Structure 1
Amino acid sequence: MSRRMLTVVAATLLALSLGVIGATLPVPFVALGPGPTYDTLGDYEGAPIIDVADLPTYPTSGHLNMTTVSVTDKLSLFTALAFWLSPERRLVPREPIFPSDRTTQEVQDENAAQFTSSELNAVSAALHELGTPASVVVVGVVPDSPADGLLELQDQIVSVDGVPVTTAEAVTEQLGGSLPGQTASLVIRRAGEELTVPVVLGTRPDRPQGFLGITPGLGPLPDTDVTISLGGIGGPSAGLMFALGVVDKLTPGELTGGTFVAGTGSIGPSGAVSAIDGVPFKMIAAREVGATVFLVPAANCEEAVATAPDGLTLVRVDTLDDAVGSLDALRDGAPTPAC
């Protein structure tokens, strides 16, 4: 075989080897990008995303779309390079998203739990906004806290240490004078059955009082129901849009006035809106499906302004009440708080 032929063969084998390595060698990154969006006023798999039972509801129009971020894992060197070159994708280290000390299933379970809690917080915030008669319910349980394993999401809290509670704040106030090591007695209603649950209070470094480990919020009265159903989504960032969907369904008139509104933001049980991750990708996803207005948590405004796609009006929100007021203003052609 001639020297030239040997060179060609060697170069071909090298190129093939590099191709195989590039196509199979894993890299410690994941790719973030625009994910699917869902209209909280619409349906998912043939059923309403927000379903209200035994409460007056009203027609809605327009869109109130929650937005998501896609996460592409198990990248090869070549696919990572392709994502790196895409203006709509970003490579980030894999470790913060899929920690090496937890399995993928554990991460997915944690994200699903956050999503469930965001749904409950959204209902609580909407009922709080509307002043609707409501029950006090558990909307969050801190993992490994004294309440973990004893209290469950959606447990209705009837009383604490013999004192009836009718607001989420009353639960916190009732435990305000407690000390670590004391036993709090909670009467709860679960699946129609009333139970007494004693919980030995723990400690937290930031407070001297006893630590129970729940987030109390508002839920529908026992004879009514507001449920949010959307599978396969994780994390807390849909709370604001879910809460707006509940408000729109429970109030006369159309909150959006027919406008295509999208947004993001986690929400507390009383309506406070908090910052989230992935705003640039969520805005891209919103614009691609036709949104013209995007609701942004105030703490995310700087990032949103720097990356907003053309044709998308940004509206700053600190609370659910802010968001409702801004949508009312948009419908009436009035100014709204801008980022």
Structure 2
Amino acid sequence: MRPRRVRRAGWVALGVTGLASLSLAFVPSPYVVEVPGPTFDTLGATDAGELIEIEGAETFPTEGELRLLTVSLLGNPERPLTWVDVARAYVDPSRAIIPMEAAFPPSVSVEDQNEAGRIEMRNSQSAAVAAALLHLGEPVESDVRVAGVIEGSPAEGILEEDDRILRVNGDTAYDVYSIRASIAAAEGASTFEIERDGEPRTVEVMPAMEGEQRIVGIYPANEFAFPFEVDIELPNVGGPSAGMMFALGIIDELTPGAMTAGTSWAGTGTIAALGEVGAIGGIVQKMHGAVDAGATHFLAPAANCAEVVGHVPEGLTVFAVSTLDEAVTAIETVAEQGDAGALPTCEAVPGS
């Protein structure tokens, strides 16, 4: 009789475990999952037409690929993932689990997030054109203005939409990224020298901390004057992380000879008008997306190298870059079958 009770108890325990597991399939989790998103060749076209179109300047045939990468999110506050979904992502190296609040801050509306993404993409495209043309020695003039002020932010009531930003903490405001760098580098309040309705003014804004970033709560927008027209058409993609790849595509189209010599490249990184390449999010997912798209070589911001080391998918060669010039050098060195071993990698970047 005792063995029978043991067996019965075992079946009961197994049933309880099964019910608990089944319940997890319906219990919402407080997490979302980052996955590789669509990729786009800056030398190619989308359903909207050529991704980069240049008018008023001579262009040249290109080869190979210069792919920009995106990250998609699974789950949102209205449709949260279950714990089973999260568990599946945990064992998939191409996916990352992040807190719901990190992806969808309660203090920021979905509309504000979407608007910020659109402005960041527009700024990224403008900065990419500026960086590419400056790299090629073309003249570029800059105008940075406030495109919007976030309600309840430190800048509310101090800065206004359409204010022209001349200097921040004494530094010339050449583009969005130079403004962010000036705010980050200063302690205490940030001094803005602006022009409003044609009149010069000086105001101070005390930044707030959002994570590790000092923010004042404005959406700056670049307005550049270019010597000819460069249009970038990429609907339904937001954020600034494609900037470097936009710039490389523009340079390739304006330069005789195919810069890639047929190699399939992918990469990511913000771009400042003066050529600095900045960190981005989701780089592991983007490396997997690059491999899925057939890329063999990858350009990673040096600032992301700590996340790159130990997570590079098989078949992908990754180079670390801090500037647009370094990115061009890496592509040309591989194309010319030069000493690629001498190019910077993430393993060689201090702290990675």
Shorter-normalised TM-score: what interval?
0.7 to 0.9
Q: CA deviation at 1:13?
A: 9.9
Counterparts of 2:329 and 2:98, CA distance in 1: 36
Residue 134 of structure 1: which of 130, 137, 140 is its match? 140
Counterparts of 2:121 and 2:226, CA distance in 1: 19
Q: CA deviation at 1:312?
A: 1.2
What per-residue deviation string (whole Å, max 9, x for no partner) do you get for residues 60-93 of structure 1?
Answer: 1110001112211121122222222323212111
Query: 5 Å matches for 1:183-262?
Result: 184=195, 197-198=198-199, 200-204=201-205, 218-221=224-227, 224-262=228-266
Give, as a single letter, the amino acid of the residue that structure 2 aligns with 1:109: E
Gaps of 5+ in 2: 1-8, 167-172, 180-189, 208-217, 346-352
CA RMSD of superposed structures (Å): 3.5
Q: CA deviation at 1:290?
A: 0.9
Counterpart position of 1:120: 126
For 1:226, what is the secondary structure of its paired residue?
strand
Q: CA deviation at 1:17?
A: 6.6
Counterpart position of 1:94: 100
For 2:37, what is the secondary structure of its paired residue?
strand
Structure 1 residues 22 and 202: CA distance shift in structure 2, 3 A: same
Q: CA deviation at 1:55?
A: 1.6
Structure 1 residues 147 and 204: CA distance shift in structure 2, 3 A: closer
Query: 5 Å matches for 1:236-315?
Result: 236-315=240-319
Residue 71 of structure 1: which of 70, 73, 90 is its match? 73
Q: Decide whether the 8 Å contact of 1:120 with 1:219 is kept in 2.
A: no
Percent identity of paired positions between Structure 1 and Structure 2: 33
Q: CA deviation at 1:11?
A: 9.5
User: Which deviates further from its counterpart, 11-20 or 64-73?
Assistant: 11-20
Counterparts of 1:18 and 1:213, CA distance in 2: 47
Structure 1 residues 57 and 181: CA distance shift in structure 2, 3 A: closer
For 2:29, what is the secondary structure of its paired residue?
coil
Counterpart position of 1:149: 161
Q: Decide whether the 8 Å contact of 1:24 with 1:76 is kept in 2.
A: yes
Q: Decide whether the 8 Å contact of 1:314 with 1:338 is kept in 2.
A: no
Structure 1 residues 267 and 182: CA distance shift in structure 2, 3 A: closer
Q: Decide whether the 8 Å contact of 1:256 with 1:327 is kept in 2.
A: yes
Counterpart position of 1:47: 49
Counterparts of 1:236 and 1:268, CA distance in 2: 10
Give, as a single letter, the amino acid of the residue that structure 2 aligns with 1:38: F
After TM superposition, the runs of 4+ consecutive aligned structure 1 residues lying more than 6 A away are 10-17, 179-183
Counterparts of 1:311 and 1:13, CA distance in 2: 45
Counterparts of 1:253 and 1:312, CA distance in 2: 25
For 2:195, what is the secondary structure of its paired residue?
strand
What per-residue deviation string (whole Å, max 9, x for no partner) do you get for residues 213-238 of structure 1?
Answer: 957674423xx311111122122111
Counterparts of 1:101 and 1:116, CA distance in 2: 24
Q: State yes or no: 1:317 paired with 2:321.
A: yes
Counterparts of 1:218 and 1:200, CA distance in 2: 22
Q: CA deviation at 1:106?
A: 2.3
Structure 1 residues 142 and 203: CA distance shift in structure 2, 3 A: farther
Q: TM-score, normalised by structure 2?
A: 0.74
Counterparts of 1:325 and 1:132, CA distance in 2: 19
Give, as a single letter, the amino acid of the residue that structure 2 aligns with 1:203: E
Counterparts of 1:80 and 1:68, CA distance in 2: 21
Counterpart position of 1:3: none
Counterparts of 1:214 and 1:201, CA distance in 2: 17
Counterparts of 2:293 and 2:146, CA distance in 1: 32
Q: TM-score, normalised by structure 1?
A: 0.76
Gaps of 5+ in 1: 1-6, 161-166, 173-178, 186-195, 207-211
Counterpart position of 1:176: none
For 1:96, what is the secondary structure of its paired residue?
helix
Q: Decide whether the 8 Å contact of 1:66 with 1:263 is kept in 2.
A: yes
For 2:244, what is the secondary structure of its paired residue?
helix
Structure 1 residues 11 and 298: CA distance shift in structure 2, 3 A: closer
Q: State yes or no: 1:57 paired with 2:46.
A: no
What per-residue deviation string (whole Å, max 9, x for no partner) do you get for residues 169-209 of structure 1?
Answer: 9x99xxxxxx9798736xxxxxxxxxx64464321459xxx
Q: CA deviation at 1:25?
A: 2.0
Q: CA deviation at 1:116?
A: 1.6
Structure 1 residues 55 and 305: CA distance shift in structure 2, 3 A: same
Counterparts of 2:194 and 2:230, CA distance in 1: 33
Q: Decide whether the 8 Å contact of 1:248 with 1:255 is kept in 2.
A: yes
For 2:39, what is the secondary structure of its paired residue?
strand
Counterparts of 1:140 and 1:180, CA distance in 2: 15
Structure 1 residues 45 and 181: CA distance shift in structure 2, 3 A: closer
Give, as a single letter, the amino acid of the residue that structure 2 aligns with 1:80: V
Counterparts of 1:181 and 1:251, CA distance in 2: 39
Residue 85 of structure 1: which of 87, 91, 94 is its match? 91
